[in-house]
Amino acid sequence: MSITRRNFLPVAGASVLAGYAGLEGARAHLKPLTGRSAVAIVKARSYSDDLVKRMHEGIAACGLDVRGLKILLKPNLVEFDPATCINTDVSVVAAALEVFRSLGAAEVVIGEGPGHRRDTYALAEMARYRSEIPKFDELFVDLNRDDASSVQGFADRAEIYLPNTALRADLIVSLAKMKTHHWAGATLAMKNFFGLVPGSVYGWPKNELHHVGIDKSIVELSRIFRRSFAIVDGIVGMEGNGPIQGTPKPAGVLVMGSDLPAVDATCCRIMGLDPAGLQYLRMASDTLGVTEESRIDQRGETVRSVRTNFQLVKSFQQYRLS
Amino acid sequence: MPGAHLDFLRGTQNADGGWGYFPGKQSWLEPTAYAALALHGEPPADRAWALIRSWQMADGGWRPAADVQMPHWTTALGVTIAIARGEFGEPFQKGVAWLLGSAGVESKLINRAAARVGLLEADRDLSLKGWPWKPNTSSWVEPTAHSLVALKRAALYLQTARVPIVELRERVRIGEAQLLDVRCRDGGWNYGSRAVLGEDLPSYPETTALALLGLQGHANLSKSIELAKGMALDRRSPLARAWLRIAFRLHGVDSVPLPLGTPLRDIVVTAVDALGAGSGYEFFRAGGLG
């Protein structure tokens, strides 16, 4: 009998959490991927579009079955500035909640561990999550201050502590924002997992990840949390000096898929950024997912039909797609 | 008076003597320290101290929770609570020594040398030393502020505390200078840096309040205090409001009414609220070292 993560964790505790992740995620056991991955691009001109319908279309196109799963929705909630669009829009989070419930998930919770601000609930209020998502406080877990367990192996570190809510989820849905990032090039579905790292251990910001290396950390978190799906909010993204100080950039899309490197690579192409220019995607390519355009089954819209060049900071301008 | 807040804390203590960040969750040092200070003099605070003491590591640093095996910025809170309790024995001594030996990695000689020859672009003065959240990472405002409070308070008990006062004074001096060096243009503090890629960062109320705690006794804070007064008008963050209340009381600002709300299920906010509304804010009174 095989023991699945979901069946085993409730009776296991921290040491097994560590052992499981260590076994499943050990870099030495990552085999090169040979297949293809589906990524769906659906148009959504504004946040008042029928986002539930759009998400259903994208999820169906990717063939995702979530019946009976415990799902953690992980938005990108970082800071609030009314002048720009830092966070995953509340309407995307609310729509995802409705969609995954309607698809038969056993449980859907929302969790985030903002990297800068201590007062997560105040941030959620500023971003209108608390006012517009019914019973938000009951559904929400502050991952910065959740109970945490050790997971063995994280880049050159012996272990990393991660929140139990994330470790016990059957599926983590990265509700990322389509943004440029001044250090990584772009912050999309994979980088969004920085918010899974607890501030209670690593602080605000989670500076440990910078010292490990931003690109390595992005890849390592995606390696640990392999059971994931992405819905990237590109309805209005951010260009320029992202992820905080950039300017709004409407792209009018939601990008979805189970292969997070493929989703991120597709987002890059939509943004006019060569995914090969992003180190973390080079590192993840062929081990955690596929990034070559020829190996991605594009569902819904084509990249060409929705592409809109995002302004890039100087250090990434050389990676502008022709 | 914060009676409801204290009742809430009394009712949410875990069996091990600690508090979680939220009721019913695993104990962490941070909420435990604030709750224990708020309930100072009561049996729950004694049970909390017994737990906190057991979390001190061999090197003198405190781990943030039972199962997290690393020394941590919360060592500053361990020292502060030891001082509040008048416990100047080995845990206190080792905690102070750990704080004196802790600094952000950006101030390492190799980084200073790299910056000097242009190999490293630094947004701050690398000759100064703040404190990190955990070892082998950079300095940030909040751990620096708490470490300054702990060390300055340790110095107040010079006769009984047997602290290395010369070393301590120097460390406080360069720690304060580091905090001032990263002050934002508007006079407040972001979480650690004042700008990114040449663009100014905004100040945050919670970090500005904590920096004001750390810089008690320092001259030239009037612009920062005025900014903090304006920040207090924004009521969206209970945590910011709680720390601002303490900062104002320590700096003698009584012109900003910050009414106490009802207790929240957030243990840190509830405990810091209680400390600021009662007399517990005095546990953070540090003054200057002169």
Tens of pLDDT, residues B81-100: 999 999 999 999 999 999 99
Give the closest-approach CA distance of A28 to chain B in angstroms: 26
- Residue A232 bridge partners (DSSP): A255
Beta carbons of A252 and A307 less than 8 angstroms apart: no
> Measured at the alpha carbon of residue A139, what is the angle toward residues A190 and A161, in degrees to the nearest 5?
45
Please determine, for residue A4, whether its predicted confidence score (pLDDT) is greater than 50.
no
Percent of all residues in chain B with a pLDDT value above 70, rounded to a whole number: 99
The amino acid present at B238, given as its one-letter code, is: P
The closest alpha carbon to A288, from A214, A215, A222, belongs to A222
Asked if A200 lies within 8 A of B138 by C-beta distance, the reply is: no
Tens of pLDDT, residues A38-70: 999 999 999 999 999 999 999 999 999 999 999
Secondary structure class of A120 (helix, strand, coil):
helix
Q: What is the 3-state secondary structure (H, E, C) of B144-185?
A: HHHHHHHHHHHHHCHHHHCCCHHHHHHHHHHHHHHHHHCCCC
Please determine, for residue A118, whether its predicted confidence score (pLDDT) is greater than 90.
yes
Where does the pLDDT of residue A9 fall: very low under 50, low under 70, confident under 90, or very high at 90 and above? very low
Please determine, for residue B119, whether its predicted confidence score (pLDDT) is greater than 90.
no
CA distance B111 to B128: 12
Q: What is the reported pLDDT for B286?
A: 92
User: Searching chain B, which residue's CA lies closest to the CA of residue A209?
Assistant: B137
Please determine, for residue A100, whether its predicted confidence score (pLDDT) is greater than 60.
yes
Angle between helices A90-102 and A51-62 (to 10 degrees): 60
Evaluate whether ipTM surpasses 0.90.
yes
CA distance B270 to A293: 52
Interface of B with A in 105-164 (CB under 8 A): 105, 132-134, 136-138, 140, 142-143
User: Searching chain A, which residue's CA lies closest to the CA of residue B135?
Assistant: A208
Q: What value does the mean pLDDT take over residues A238-263?
A: 97
Q: Can you say how many angstroms the Cα of residue B170 is from the centroid of all Cα atoms in its chain? A: 19
Please determine, for residue A2, whether its predicted confidence score (pLDDT) is greater than 90.
no
Q: What is the reported pLDDT for A31?
A: 62
Chain A residues within an 8 Å CB radius of B21: 142, 145, 200
Please determine, for residue A248, whether its predicted confidence score (pLDDT) is greater than 60.
yes
Picking from A12-26, A187-201, B4-18, B166-180, which range would have the lowest pLDDT averaged per residue? Answer: A12-26
Where does the pLDDT of residue B197 fall: very low under 50, low under 70, confident under 90, or very high at 90 and above? confident
Tens of pLDDT, residues B227-283: 999 999 988 899 999 999 999 999 999 999 898 988 889 999 999 999 999 999 999
The closest alpha carbon to B54, from B17, B105, B99, B85, belongs to B17
Q: Give the residue with greater pLDDT, A232 vs A25.
A: A232
Percent of all residues in chain B with a pLDDT value above 90, rounded to a whole number: 80
Q: What value does the mean pLDDT take over residues B169-187?
A: 96
Q: What is the reported pLDDT for A19?
A: 32
Beta carbons of A9 and A168 less than 8 angstroms apart: yes
Please determine, for residue A28, whether its predicted confidence score (pLDDT) is greater than 80.
no
B254 touches chain A (CB under 8 A): no
Please determine, for residue A20, whether its predicted confidence score (pLDDT) is greater than 70.
no
Please determine, for residue B44, whether its predicted confidence score (pLDDT) is greater than 50.
yes
The closest alpha carbon to A75, from A141, A197, A174, belongs to A174
Beta carbons of A272 and A310 less than 8 angstroms apart: yes
Q: What value does the mean pLDDT take over residues A76-93?
A: 94
- List, in order of start, the domains of chain A with CATH numbers: 34-319 (3.40.50.11440)
Instruction: Report domain extents, chain B.
Output: 1-25+189-282, 55-181
Range list of β-strands (E), chain A: 37-43, 70-75, 107-112, 140-142, 148-154, 157-163, 171-175, 177-181, 185-187, 228-239, 247-257, 296-300
The secondary element (H helix, E strand) that includes residue B196 is strand B195-196
Q: What value does the mean pLDDT take over residues A126-149?
A: 97
Please determine, for residue A3, whether its predicted confidence score (pLDDT) is greater than 50.
no
Phi, psi of A232 (to 5 degrees): -95, 125
A245 touches chain B (CB under 8 A): yes
DSSP state letter for A102? H
Tens of pLDDT, residues A166-177: 999 999 999 999
List b or e across B115-127, with b for residues whose CB sees 16 or more CB atoms inside 10 angstroms. beeeeeeebbbbe
- CA distances (Å), origin A172, targets A24, B9, B166: 16, 33, 52
CA distance B118 to A228: 42
Nearest to B197 among A122, A182, A205 (CB): A182
Where does the pLDDT of residue B159 fall: very low under 50, low under 70, confident under 90, or very high at 90 and above? confident
Q: What value does the mean pLDDT take over residues B188-204?
A: 89
Percent of all residues in chain A with a pLDDT value above 90, rounded to a whole number: 87
DSSP labels, A170-201: SEEEEE-EEEEETTTEEE-TTGGGGGGS-HHH
Please determine, for residue A34, whether its predicted confidence score (pLDDT) is greater than 80.
no
Nearest to B134 among A126, A182, A208 (CB): A208
Chain B interface disruption, residue of A147, A217, A313, most B CBs within 10 A: A147
Percent of all residues in chain A with a pLDDT value above 70, rounded to a whole number: 90
Chain B residues within an 8 Å CB radius of A185: none
Q: What is the reported pLDDT for A32?
A: 66
- CA distances (Å), origin B135, targets A157, A183, B150, B169: 13, 23, 18, 22
Pairing, β A171-175 against β A228-239: parallel
Picking from A100-109, A245-254, B82-91, B116-125, which range would have the lowest pLDDT averaged per residue? Answer: B116-125
Please determine, for residue A229, whether its predicted confidence score (pLDDT) is greater than 50.
yes
The predicted model scores a pTM of 0.93
Asked if B137 lies within 8 A of A146 by C-beta distance, the reply is: no
Q: What is the reported pLDDT for A16?
A: 30
Q: What is the reported pLDDT for B235?
A: 84
Q: What value does the mean pLDDT take over residues A202-207?
A: 97
A130 touches chain B (CB under 8 A): no
CA distance A119 to B269: 9
Nearest to B197 among A150, A161, A241 (CB): A241
The closest alpha carbon to A246, from A316, A310, A190, A309, belongs to A310
Where does the pLDDT of residue A27 fall: very low under 50, low under 70, confident under 90, or very high at 90 and above? very low
Where does the pLDDT of residue B162 fall: very low under 50, low under 70, confident under 90, or very high at 90 and above? confident
Q: Which two tokens stand for residue B150?
A: 């702990």
